[in-house]
Amino acid sequence: MSDIDNLLARLPKRGRVAPSWYQWGFNLNGSASWLESFTHFFTSVDVQILPDHEDDRPTFYDFTSPHLNGLPGAQAAMRARELLVLFNGVMRVTRGVEFRDFTLGAGRDLWTREPAQEDHFRTVPVPMFPEDVEDLRYYRSDRLNKPMDSVSKQLFLSRSDRYLLTIYRTLGRDGMTFASLFKVLDTIVAAFHEKSAKGTNVEVAALGGMTEDDVESFRYTANNFDVAGEDARHGLKANFKPAKKLQALSLEQAADVMLPIIRGFVKQRVEETFERKWQAALIDNAGQADPAPLPPERGR
């Protein structure tokens, strides 16, 4: 061994190399044009969309992730659905009210073709990400020509940013409602508090170029049954009185207020933290991390 090899051998390992293969695939349903576009530009290290082309039928798409590797079929299905909630949430922030959820169908082992048998009652729950997800490492040389797109950056940061994770999972699970948008507003205010800021309506509104009255009108609408009806966060109030200076918003108007704020918050978090966290996950040679697990042999 050369002196450099000896030196590298003595350096502590920095996690393990992430696998570059996928074990489980789940049929993904949704807009065909969006799905096809993801097969061309999507550079995520957390989820991937694989096309299944055949000349005599329409193209099918599989939703997969390296985070599913090594799990039995039932747990892989459970984690895949959790990751899809996250993915749908990121897409809802990105695309807004026009986005329609992707849904999962049947799954199979991509190597053995064994189906993923789901059993929600007897399956031990698994978290959305593996416990050691922060230890996964990627070769810098492999990523030089694969800069992360915006959606991929947001997925990656969701591993460690609880504010982004909460926003995406709320919108991915509950869709666009007065209640879900208010939960997101609470989450953004909590992020201000973490930085010892007050998170006033003025501060929150500034994230999206909105006004204080815009945020006040959203709060007024979302909080009151007499304004938003059954979609409100709360039930009837015996002493409710209509506000004279605030506007009652439709759900579409509420989204017009909140989506720019959410996107401004996301943009700020990405700009502040992504590059630092991504660089910490990159390695230059195999000696810096434990090797990735090998894929199984085909048919086994």
Alpha-carbon dihedral 173, 175, 176, 178, rounded to 10 degrees: -60
Tokens, residue 254: 């509420």
Task: Find all residues with CB under 8 Å of 190, minimum gap 6, and list them.
Answer: 163, 199
Quick check: pTM over 0.95? no
Domain ranges of the chain: 157-278
Rounded to 5 degrees, what are φ and ψ at 13? -70, 150
Alpha-carbon distance of 169 to 172, in angstroms, equals 5
Task: Find all residues with CB under 8 Å of 98, minimum gap 6, and list them.
Answer: none
**Tens-level pLDDT at each residue, the chain (300 residues):** 565 555 555 556 789 999 999 999 999 999 888 888 888 889 999 999 999 877 777 789 999 999 999 999 999 999 999 999 999 999 999 999 989 999 999 999 999 999 998 777 777 788 999 999 999 999 999 998 889 999 999 999 999 999 999 999 999 999 999 999 999 999 999 999 999 999 999 999 999 999 999 999 998 888 766 555 567 666 656 465 666 677 788 999 999 999 999 999 999 999 999 999 999 999 999 889 999 988 887 655
Q: Is 289 left (phi over 0), alpha (psi -120 to 50) or beta?
A: beta
Tokens, residue 33: 């044009």
Question: What average pLDDT is seen over the chain?
Answer: 88
Confidence at residue 159, expressed as pLDDT on a 0 to 100 scale: 97
b/e 94-123 (16+ beta carbons within 10 angstroms → b): eeeeebebbebeebbbbbeeeebebeeeeb
Alpha-carbon distance of 172 to 165, in angstroms, equals 10
